[in-house]
Chain A
Amino acid sequence: MKRKWIGAAALVTAVTLLTACSGQSDAAAPGEKVTLTYANWSEDQTPAMQQIADEFQKANPDITIKVQTLPWTEYWSTLQVGAAGGTAPDAFWMLADHFREYAKGGQLLDLSDTVKSNNIDTSVYPKAVTDSYTYDGKLFALPKDFDTNGIWYNKALFDAAGVKYPDDTWTWQDAQDAAKKLTDPAKGVFGIAAPIDGQGGFYNTILQAGGSIINQDGTASDFGSPAGVAGLKFWTDLQAAKASPTLEQLSDTEAVSMFENQKVAMYFSGAYWALRFHNDAALKGKVDVAPLPQGVKRATVTSGIGNAGYAGSKHPAELKKFLAFLGGTKAAEIQAATGTVLPAYKGTQQPWLDSMPEYHLQVFIDAIGYSVPLPVAGNASEWQGLAAQYLSPAWSGKKSVQDAATEYQAAVDKVLAKK
């Protein structure tokens, strides 16, 4: 029955999308009370978001901010249907890979003049993140936070295997050797987690091998190129050496959980796990972070959440005011002090570092220097969804990396070729 309802609901929502409603009205009269909604998808970050909203309301008593938390699984469909139907939240979190569709579709408030009138210096944000929220030369979202990648590692497992901790001198070879040495089948311990993961995984290694993932004008990928294959091989080699749990194991128990359960010694991922590891009593004193190893060069992808406004909002003037506040130092400091995330605003990150002094979190900030924006060309959601399908055979060793990469590239390029 439930399934039927979901089907019916899906049909209904599928169609609701058609009701393109442009509900644009004037700014509220002075002194009039205005309520803005601010949507996010993270239970963990909601307290910080609420604190930011409270702070804003203190300075703007006529504007009430309602913080809305949607489950991640529903966030994008709700936002999409809401935007098309004229009922989207006023302010909401945006991700680079969804951004283009919204900007192209005219659903986002152009913040270029807000930046000017509020004297916001956009150079305080990592350029890679600001770039990913720029469309047609206009800025549509102010970076809220950012993440780069590093090696999260379990010191206890390194000590037990007598392996030196990773540091900034590490090369690919060092990482591979350590992963093999750390693997202990008897104890069910693996050196590293090697899932099919772009952002924490093969995007970084392809860049480190000198590849580009997607070319400059977003028309083709380079997964099948020598650099692309080398970047993928970094991971498939670890699979072949059984230094990582298999894809099936990583599907049943996510890599981060494996790391938390101390079943893997290294996990390449972002700063966003810091708070979770910090709060995990079992990991106390056992975890630290180091820069990603170098290939031909040093590289990491970076992305960040942006705070965007709905073009169909009934109160664009107040909304811009709120968005400017979200992009400012106060909002950044609240995020940093609560240890919530790494704020995008330069110079506000120290409280975040101080909130978890046991980790070398500076690694993530230093990585901005060699970071590259997460590739989001074309219909990103569509081509990103192809990775598991095309790369699984390479990960499990059923197909050569070159063959899988070539087919993967062909499939991605087909998506990129669509307008």
Chain B
Amino acid sequence: MTDLATKPLRRPTGRRRGVTKPSGWWGLAFVAPATIGLGVLYVWPFLSTLVDSFQDVPAFGPATFVGADNYTALVHDPEFWKAFGNSALYTAIALLGVPVAIVLAALIEQVGRGRAIYRVLFFLPVVTLPVAIGMVWRFIYNGDFGLLNTVLSWVGVDGQFWVADPRFTIYAFGVVGIWMGLGINLIILGAGLSAIPKSVYEASALDGAGRVRQFLRITLPLLSPSIFFVTVLTVIGALQMFDLNFIMLRGVNNTALADSKTIVYLFYEKAFVQFHQGYGAAIAVVLLVVIMIATALQFRLQRSWVFYD
């Protein structure tokens, strides 16, 4: 009895080891491409950036360790705070795109036959080159000859220099950002909408709920996981905004650039134009932390409004 009582204790462990060991190696082999890819393309660059951020990295030649100097300089750099504010403002505007996308998605869902056409139309900006987008919007926003001001003049409104006047630049970019993000958001929200069972709507209609009530009481709660996902993506994307700055301002010597730099643009400028790679790395690390905090915060807040059935 005592023999039997002790033996089983050992045997299963030995057997488990015997079974799991080979399968573990196989598993590793299977995930290796992804792991190596992630390691080379994400983990290693991230760690190097982190190291860089504590160094003075000249354009060429050896780097020197400077402790937290880059971060101290960052905190005291008005340009950084300005860029931070610009990115925050841009993000806030981009977030307005989420309700727009929800309403549009719900409307498109109502469309019977031509639904695909609308989706394609809204998706076009997503697959268009940012350079082309930048050029088209530069024309639309042009203060002298722009399309927007022409339309405004028909209704007797004075035009503005939407991009060149730093008072408006970020807002003008925000509109482009909403438009650019709409396609992806509509796809995600559209998928979420089609997953809502029709029976729920039918039942509520029997109980006398109107369209608006249905939208507020059924669509929104049942769509909330998709909305949450779209919101998280929008915030991350908006905080990383770079291309509009680069194409619509820098490429054309627009003087509004001085007041309208975003965090990622500032990173680019410091690291690649001014050869301050350590400082640039510090900006990148701070941005990463900001994005992590913003995302974590959203995951915290979602508990109170996202409805999983």
Task: Write out, one digit per residue, whether chain B residues 120-146 have a CB within 8 A of any chain A CB (1) or not (0).
Answer: 000000100010000000100111111
Are B242 and A73 in touch, CB under 8 angstroms?
no
What 0/1 pattern do residues 164 to 192 of B give for CB contact below 8 A with A?
Answer: 11000000000000000000100000000
Q: How far, in whole Å, are A4 and B240 apart by their CA atoms in the complex?
A: 6
In the complex, whether B252 has a CB less than 8 A from a CB of chain A is yes
A398 contacts chain B at the CB level, 8 A cutoff: no
Q: Does A76 contact B (CB under 8 A)?
A: yes
Known A1-B126, A11-B46, A14-B280; contact A252-B142, beta-carbon cutoff 8 A: yes
Complex contacts, B251 vs chain A, CB 8 Å:
73
Tell me, yes or no, whether B39 is within 8 Å of chain A by CB: no
Across the two chains, which residue of chain B brings its CB closest to A72?
A: B251
Interface string of B224-245 (1 = CB under 8 A from A): 0000000000001100111100
CA distance A196 to B142 in the complex (A): 19
* B268 on the A face (CB < 8 A): yes
Residues in A whose Cβ lies below 8 Å from that of B272: 76-77, 80
Contact indicator B242/A3 (Cβ below 8 Å):
yes
In the complex, the number of residue pairs spanning A and B with C-beta atoms less than 8 Å apart equals 146
Most A Cβ at <10 Å: residue of B52, B240, B284? B240
Residues of B within 8 A of A107 (CB): 60
User: Which residues of B, 142-173, contact A by the 8 Å Cβ criterion?
Assistant: 142-146, 161, 163-165
Find the residue from A3, A106, A247 having the highest chain B CB count within 10 A.
Answer: A3
A70 within 8 A of B: no
User: What are the residues of chain B within 8 A of A186 when measuring CB–CB?
Assistant: none
Q: A101-B275, A105-B61 are in contact. Are A10 and B264 (CB under 8 A)?
A: yes
B222 located at the interface, meaning its Cβ lies under 8 Å from any Cβ of chain A in the complex: no
The 8 A CB mask of A61-105 against B (1 = contact, 0 = none) is 000000000000100110010011000000000000000011011
Interchain CB contact (< 8 A) of A12 among B41, B268, B269: B41
Q: Does A195 contact B (CB under 8 A)?
A: yes
- Judged by a CB distance under 8 angstroms, whether B48 is at the interface is yes
Give chain A interface residues in 351-409, CB to chain B under 8 Å.
Answer: 379, 381-382, 385, 388-389, 392
Q: Which residues of A contact B49 (CB under 8 A)?
A: 11, 14-15
Once the chains are docked, how many angstroms separate the CA of A346 from the CA of B156?
Answer: 59
Does A18 interact with chain B (Cβ within 8 Å)? yes
Interfacial residues of chain B within 268-297, with CB under 8 A of chain A in the complex: 268-269, 271-277, 280-281, 284
- Known pairs A14-B280, A101-B60; A4 contacts B237 (CB<8 A): yes
Contact A385 B274 (CB under 8 A): yes
Q: Does B256 contact A (CB under 8 A)?
A: yes
Residues 1-19 of A contacting B (Cβ, < 8 Å): 1-4, 6-8, 10-12, 14-18
Interface residue total, chain A, C-beta cutoff 8 A: 46
Task: Determine if A173 is an interface residue (Cβ-Cβ < 8 Å).
Answer: no
User: Which chain A residues (256-312) contact chain B, with CB distance < 8 Å?
Assistant: none
Minimum C-beta distance from A395 to chain B (A) = 8
Q: B6 near A: Cβ within 8 Å?
A: no
Bound complex: CA of A20 vs CA of B60, how far in Å? 8
Question: Is B304 an interface residue, CB under 8 A from the partner?
Answer: no
B52, B146, B165, B242: the one contacting A7 at CB < 8 Å is B242
> Which residues of chain A have C-beta atoms less than 8 A from B240's C-beta?
3-4, 6-7
Tell whether, in the assembled complex, residue B242 and residue A12 are in contact, meaning their CB atoms are under 8 Å apart. Answer: no
Residue of A nearest to B247 (CB): A73
Interface string of B30-41 (1 = CB under 8 A from A): 000000000001
Q: How far is the CB of A93 from chain B (nearest CB, A)?
A: 17
**Smallest CB-CB separation from A257: which chain B residue?**
B252
The answer to whether B255 and A247 touch across the interface, beta carbons within 8 angstroms, is yes
> Do A4 and B236 touch (CB < 8 A)?
yes
B153 to chain A, nearest CB (A): 15
A195-B253 in contact given A83-B60, A84-B60, A105-B59 (Cβ < 8 Å): yes
Contacts A/B (CB < 8 Å), 11 sampled: A6-B240, A8-B41, A10-B267, A11-B284, A12-B41, A14-B281, A18-B48, A102-B60, A252-B254, A388-B258, A392-B258
* Extra pairs beyond A4-B237, A15-B52, A381-B274 (13, CB < 8 Å): A2-B243, A6-B242, A8-B42, A14-B49, A15-B44, A15-B48, A80-B275, A83-B60, A101-B275, A196-B255, A248-B165, A249-B143, A382-B275
- 5 nearest interchain CB pairs? A105-B60, A389-B258, A251-B164, A248-B161, A248-B164
Which B residues are within 8 Å of any A CB, using their own CB?
41-42, 44-46, 48-49, 52, 57-63, 126, 130, 138, 141-146, 161, 163-165, 184, 236-237, 240-243, 246, 250-259, 264, 267-269, 271-277, 280-281, 284
